Structure 1
Amino acid sequence: MRFRHPDGSLVHLAYCTNVHPAEDLDGVIAQLDGCSALVRKELDVPVLGVGLWLAYRLANQLANSPDALHRLRQALDRNGLEVVTLNGFPYAGFHDEVVGKKVYLPDWTHPERLHYTRDLVDVLAQLLPEDAAYGSISTLPLGWREPWSAEQDTRARAAISRLEMHLARTEETTGRRIRVAFEPEPGCVIEVVPQGAEWLAPYGAAGRIGLCLDTCHLAVQFEEPGTAFGVLERAGVPIVKSQVSAALHVTDPGDVEARRLLDEFAEPKFLHQTRELGGGAIDNLDAVAELSGAAPWRVHFHVPVHAAPRPPLSSTTDVLGDSLTRLVGGEHPRTLHLESETYTWSVLPSSPRDTQELAEGIAGELAWLRDRITALGLEEVK
């Protein structure tokens, strides 16, 4: 979906395909022909943006096989789909029975992470629409926080310097500008926006390396959007991309019904880092007994933005709304790429029964976001 900002900029909204399990070309094409096509039909839009997730083997195949890339492009074209952004966070196995901390491997100290991201750069440079100002790739915030040494930090910076050179060469040879966005996440080396601003500041001037602002993660850490945006501006770190998503909120952890409903979200597949207002922190929902329960909790569980959880649970759509206003509601947009990233549909207490229900849910989120974007003065491009 496309929107024209009052300043003339083209703002893109996509949904992230990491909600789908396919990791090979046939599977990805099938999901585009299936669920993605249904989402576009539900929304009745001429072009639907998809933020592709390509596992590392497929990314390498597409980067090195013109025939494979042509097949993917044909699938996108026949379904009225466009790609301006890729999710380069999960490397593979994102739909394993248990993902947990495996999603943070390989981290930015391993050469495999650099190779994978380079392949994604090469693929996106070929898929990017002609009128897109740039392409974006989100990636993990260096790695999980433990262990992380000064030597590892040095190795990560060396890898990112090589990545920056590859981005510059790509722009020179293809004329397409690709940017990579590091995504702060609870429990990682870059956990909060100020850490991201400090770590990424040396790359800000060139604009090829920046931050992916996930509004679910921002909310989980109880970060105030106004403060976070100010920190980034002062550091000169661009918001390359934003994942506009919502976290689970527990106003009163002592409420018996709230705890009963929260137990329904404690599933084993994904890590659900939980934070307590005032400083309490755990790495997964199964350890909530370690928190005091004396202040509100927020849980890293991406919940559908258009459908509130059952009371007394709620979601952080207020943080999302505030962030969205700051992202695209001003005189000029702070980013041109917005992505809905609710990858948890399959593990929700009431998950979709089939592809049609999933497509309706994804379309519902995008419609909710569309209403809020147009309310900020942007015009949907038909």
Structure 2
Amino acid sequence: MIPAYCTNVHPAEDLAGVVAQLDRYAVPVRERLGVDELALGLWLAEPVARGLADDPAARRGLAGELRARGLTVSTLNAFPYGGFHDEVVKHAVYLPTWTDPRRLAYTMECATVLADLLPDSADHGSISTLPLAWREPWTGEDDARAQAALGELTGFLRAEASRHGRPIKLAMEPEPGCVLDTVADAVGWLADRVDHDHVGLCLDTCHLAVSFADPVEAVKSIHATGLSVVKVQASAALEVAEPGSAEGRDAIAAFAEPRYLHQVRENTPDGVLAADDLPEALTSLPAGHPWRVHFHVPLHAQPSAPLTSTTDVLLAAMGAVRATADATPHVEVETYTWTVLPGSDAVDLAEGIAAELRWAADHLGEGNPG
């Protein structure tokens, strides 16, 4: 089964732009795959989500535009609030945080929209979100505010489920450098604070790989607390075995770019060392042991040696999810970095996305496409 692909790769921040990107990319991807329907993990910037949430006719219109193009939506990516294709994004992607009422309002807007976009075949929808905030500043008071916001959201989601007959579930997405940096952090924070029927995890397998956690044990730990993997973002990180060599350093340095934050972890015998961005890592980490870099690279195309990607972590995590999950999570391929890859000017984006989805269909087995 072909999973969804995440449309946050496309720089559209008004409704007309969203529809234009469907025509420019999503429809050609579907046609190249030779399928009647293609699932999307839709990203709607906050002004778009707000406009749709306020206008039932506009929601019906978007649902019709999707159907007319053979596109379906069961999951939204509500991590970026807006400005995701600005010249410099970096830490701004973590704003507003879950202590800010705007984050709660945006997530509610997304839930309202998604409820009217779900295809008849979907038994639920999902929304992925940021792991509370960047790690600092963060206080006990912030913890309490975030928990209260999630409690308010849960009440809203319950009401929406009663109204529509199908639940929308929130998927918290751990990311290196954030308050919920790892799966272990997310499980520890969420387990006793949220309603497990409405809030679970988004397992981004690039982020999981960067943490150097064991993917199978990480998945088991989620289910051991009664939480669930609501959504999987099928993604791969960059890895360099010898970052201290001239060849390794030059190869990884080619991926340092100004738009997005590319957190780096070095796996040493004494523990995992951290740098918040690739340029910082190149000057501050000892580079005596393997690095993994938060740079989502295409699943189907291994980078040139001496670099590799962490598709092995993705495959192991998906195997563990299939083995432990009572319900099948939504699966979304999320390579938002196509336009900042070295040599990206020569990329046919529709063909690249189609190639990734072919790889995912061949390697990830049965799953809910989104």
Task: Tell me whether the two structures share a fold, i.e. TM-score over 0.5.
Answer: yes
How far the C-alpha of 1:74 sits from its partner, in A, is: 2.1
Q: Of the candidates 301, 306, 315, which is equivalent to residue 295 of structure 2?
A: 301
TM (norm. structure 1) is 0.92
Q: Of the candidates 177, 184, 189, which is equivalent to residue 194 of structure 1?
A: 184
CA distance in 2, matches of 1:262, 1:109: 35
Structure 1 residues 109, 380: closer, same or farther in 2, change over 3 A? closer
Q: Confirm whether residue 369 of structure 1 aligns to residue 360 of structure 2.
A: yes
2:236 alignment counterpart: 246
Counterpart of 1:316, as a letter, is T
Per-residue Cα deviation, 1:166-211 (whole angstroms, up to 9, x for no partner): 0000001111210000000000000011111111112565411010
How far the C-alpha of 1:327 sits from its partner, in A, is: 2.0
Greater shift after overlay, 131-140 or 66-75? 66-75
1:161 alignment counterpart: 151
Contact 1:204 1:236 (C-alpha < 8 Å) held by counterparts: no
- The SS at the match of 1:246 is coil
Q: Of the candidates 21, 32, 38, which is equivalent to residue 28 of structure 2?
A: 38
Contact 1:23 1:92 (C-alpha < 8 Å) held by counterparts: yes
Greater shift after overlay, 297-306 or 316-325? 316-325
CA distance in 1, matches of 2:360, 2:3: 9
1:237 alignment counterpart: 227
Q: Confirm whether residue 95 of structure 1 aligns to residue 78 of structure 2.
A: no
- The SS at the match of 1:302 is coil
Percent sequence identity over aligned pairs? 51
Per-residue Cα deviation, 1:90-130 (whole angstroms, up to 9, x for no partner): 00100000000000000000000000000000000000112
Q: Confirm whether residue 320 of structure 1 aligns to residue 314 of structure 2.
A: yes
Q: Confirm whether residue 348 of structure 1 aligns to residue 338 of structure 2.
A: no
Greater shift after overlay, 333-342 or 159-168? 333-342
- The SS at the match of 1:50 is strand
CA distance in 1, matches of 2:294, 2:350: 23
Number of residue pairs the alignment of both structures matches = 365
1:6 alignment counterpart: none
How far the C-alpha of 1:67 sits from its partner, in A, is: 2.8
Structure 1 residues 360, 352: closer, same or farther in 2, change over 3 A? farther
Structure 2 segments unaligned to the other structure (5+ residues): none
Q: Confirm whether residue 180 of structure 1 aligns to residue 170 of structure 2.
A: yes
CA distance in 2, matches of 1:334, 1:242: 12
Contact 2:104 2:149 (C-alpha < 8 Å) held by counterparts: yes
Correspondences of 1:71-150 after superposition (within 5 Å): 71-150=61-140
Contact 1:242 1:335 (C-alpha < 8 Å) held by counterparts: no
TM (norm. structure 2) is 0.95
Contact 2:330 2:367 (C-alpha < 8 Å) held by counterparts: no
Structure 1 residues 186, 180: closer, same or farther in 2, change over 3 A? same
Contact 1:247 1:301 (C-alpha < 8 Å) held by counterparts: yes
Counterpart of 1:370, as a letter, is A
Contact 2:228 2:325 (C-alpha < 8 Å) held by counterparts: no
CA distance in 1, matches of 2:317, 2:175: 16
CA distance in 2, matches of 1:175, 1:30: 31
Per-residue Cα deviation, 1:220-258 (whole angstroms, up to 9, x for no partner): 010111210121122111110010100000111122122
CA distance in 1, matches of 2:36, 2:81: 31
2:161 alignment counterpart: 171
CA RMSD of aligned residues (A): 1.6
Counterpart of 1:285, as a letter, is L
Contact 1:108 1:159 (C-alpha < 8 Å) held by counterparts: yes
Contact 1:204 1:238 (C-alpha < 8 Å) held by counterparts: no
How far the C-alpha of 1:373 sits from its partner, in A, is: 2.8
CA distance in 2, matches of 1:333, 1:46: 28
CA distance in 1, matches of 2:367, 2:9: 28
After superposing on structure 2, the runs of 4+ consecutive aligned residues of structure 1 that deviate more than 6 Å are none
1:8 alignment counterpart: none
Per-residue Cα deviation, 1:67-96 (whole angstroms, up to 9, x for no partner): 322331222111100000000000010000
Structure 1 residues 352, 203: closer, same or farther in 2, change over 3 A? farther
How far the C-alpha of 1:332 sits from its partner, in A, is: 5.4
CA distance in 1, matches of 2:327, 2:303: 30
Contact 1:204 1:237 (C-alpha < 8 Å) held by counterparts: no
1:9 alignment counterpart: none
CA distance in 1, matches of 2:129, 2:367: 30
Structure 1 segments unaligned to the other structure (5+ residues): 4-11
Contact 1:14 1:48 (C-alpha < 8 Å) held by counterparts: yes
Structure 1 residues 191, 135: closer, same or farther in 2, change over 3 A? same
- The SS at the match of 1:94 is coil
